[in-house]
Structure 1
Amino acid sequence: MTALIQDAALALLAPGFAGASVAAVRYRRTAHRRATENAELTKTLQQAQRLADLRDQELQHLARKRLPAMAETLWAGTSHNARQAVHPELFGTVFAQAEEELLQFFGSLTEQASTRAEQAARAAVQSVTRALQALVYEQQRAISSMIERHDDEKVLADAYEIDHACSQLARKAQIVGLLAGAWPGRQRDDTPLLDVVRGGVSRIRDYRRVRITGEPTEYVGSNVVEPVVLAVAELLDNAARNSQPGTAVEVYFVHAHNGVSIIIDDAGIGLTPETRADAQRLLAGKEPVRLTQLRNPPRLGFLGIGVLAERYGFRVSVAQQSDHGGVRAIVHLHRGLFVPAPAPAAPQAQQQAGGSLASSGGSRDTPSAPQNTGPYPVADDGLPMRRRAKRRHGQPPAQPSSQPPTDGGRNLAAFIRGTRAPHLSPTDEENTQ
């Protein structure tokens, strides 16, 4: 409206003056329009330059920070929020959509690579542990055969030392195999809880330092015997290794309404709150174990115990401190893991002796045969010992139990000579002296 009024006023003036004035006004209007356009173009250019700078910064941040962090969290098995951009101004733009597609593709590719690496690692570890276990069992069978042939106390003592080392190696191979997805690999009979704990004692290096108090009467179901033996052995080994060599590792039992707890106390250096929380997390067995994400050095014992506890339904805790300032480990077995005790059966030899005595009408003192319950018979000193079971001709020797020497082989050598004596002639018996 102002421009129209100015044009009308100029039209009423003199023609020469009016022409010059019209030209001036038009120039001013054109200059103003161009200035406005230039301002708008400058503003648009500045906005475009700002967006370009933001995209450059976002690309740098994506390449240097977000993608490496995303890869690290994916390899670690944790979630990562890769959707939030650095600059909110980029939300909803084509650039942001393309970036989201790139992140999804990268995440999928990283996850596939992690899965393939884990599968390859598990396959390799399972193959190695199976071969290692086969070699260990073959060596133990050779040791068992050697013990069957010899009765010299020095030979037996050395053989038991080798057998004890083999049992520890087999235990470590079992734990590593468990982390790779394998099974414990041994099926036991229903076994007294005390023998299960003694079986764990027999598989550690410092077995002489373990002191067991109490005699529980419960029987552990066959499918849980080997897992509990492995868990107890790992806890005992950890307790012995992290305490002074001269101190004892105490084991006792606590009966509760819902089951029985195996308490393991050591006098070691204990655990810091952070280490205790981390150990408790591993023992819970709730997180999936990935071989490609193990720490250096890996805590294979706690990881293996967690796998066993989650798989077989018992609980393991190191949340408490022992009375000696060390670690108190608790293995709780609920009632569902126990089975009724088998009915006692009279030995066949006693039945035959009783029948002959009854028929003759006489009586004499007959020593009762010891009762061997479960796969871990007990020696005079309270530790598990190897059975020397008779076998038929052509039958392969039984799998040797993992029991270290307790008497240097002297008692066992005397026992072997005593069992052979009734079958030897006087000359042969003199040669064995």
Structure 2
Amino acid sequence: MQAVILAAGEGSRLRPLTRSKPKAMIPVANQPIIEYVIDALLENGIRDIVVVVGYRKEDVIRYLNKLDAPIQVAVQERQLGTADALRAAESEITEDFLVLPGDNYVNAESIARIKKEQNAMLVAEHPNPSNFGVVVIRNGLIREILEKPEDAPTFTVSTGIYSFKPDVFSYLQTNEIPDALAAMIASGRRIRAIPADDWQDAVYSWDLLKLNSRMLRGITPGIGGTVDASVIRRGTVRIGTGTTVGPNTVIYGPVTIGSNCNIGPGCMIMPNTSIGDRVVFEPFTYVADSLIMNDVTIGSHSRIVSAVFGQGCILADHTTTYPSASFIEVGGRIHKEEFGAVLGDGVRAAPFTTFKNCIAGNSVTIEEGKTVVGLIEDGTRVM
């Protein structure tokens, strides 16, 4: 069996984090999302894999070239939709195949369930179905797909994972795969609904916190750096090569820390935290339930909770993220979500900055003593 992974899109609802990388390359628990998809396919013995790239394709191709798996690449020249992306891989398809989004997590058991079927969709229950294609099912068969409806009739959604025969390409008349499925159903084809065992998507940037927490459950412990004898470690902790953890630091797993980091002394790292490469935590910093990407510096006496920090952020001492539930508009919708902060790449914050339920764009600069709330556009200077 073959597999096509669609990794050509930007993931616009995850901005500002996807300005510099496609959604499939966002690191979760220090591993790009697409790698979890590839791992699940390999566990099922599926090694004939085509990845469709487009937005910032060089980043994806460079990463795929580092993997052991023999992966083919197809290019979607313009990001016109999922069916258009699938057409880009048509010349590589010679047998029954799976289609998977490269920016969702799916486990190997879910793939094992759907790979046994011809013409099937993997479905899942979701508390916010209006963010997805909502599926109407009768007697185990797909009857209708309602794309992001305001009033969803069911909590069952499409995961964007399908099993197809090669003749599906004759149904790809528009730019979206759900339209092809509707045409197949109208022609009398039976599309089976296969319940997922474990699947998760991050639609908005704050959703990465839940996905990060989920993926940290699967990390393996290991110490590759230098950890002071006074450091207290509890739970599953993974520390990369070249990383130094200073005296009297406390780490409660699950936590993963990348390579060449400098942590402490006197820091506290609490569960569900992932820390990228070359990150610096200055003394007496507290971090919990957060996703910190590469090359971030957090100043001393800071308190970071429920935060996603893009790469290259430099935050001075006494920085605080304060989780709060308030309204924020993203993707044309008003949301009420509780989180501390989402910072794009290269944010600079002076001492005593507080982020409260804030999404700050790339290269935002914040002067000393400010409390930042809501949505801050790229390049803004907060004075």
Q: Same fold (TM over 0.5)?
A: no
TM-score tier, shorter chain, comes to under 0.3
By percentage of residues, which structure has more helix?
A: 1
- Normalising by structure 1, report the TM-score: 0.23
Structure number with greater CO (CA < 8 Å, separation at least 6) is 1
- Normalising by structure 2, report the TM-score: 0.25
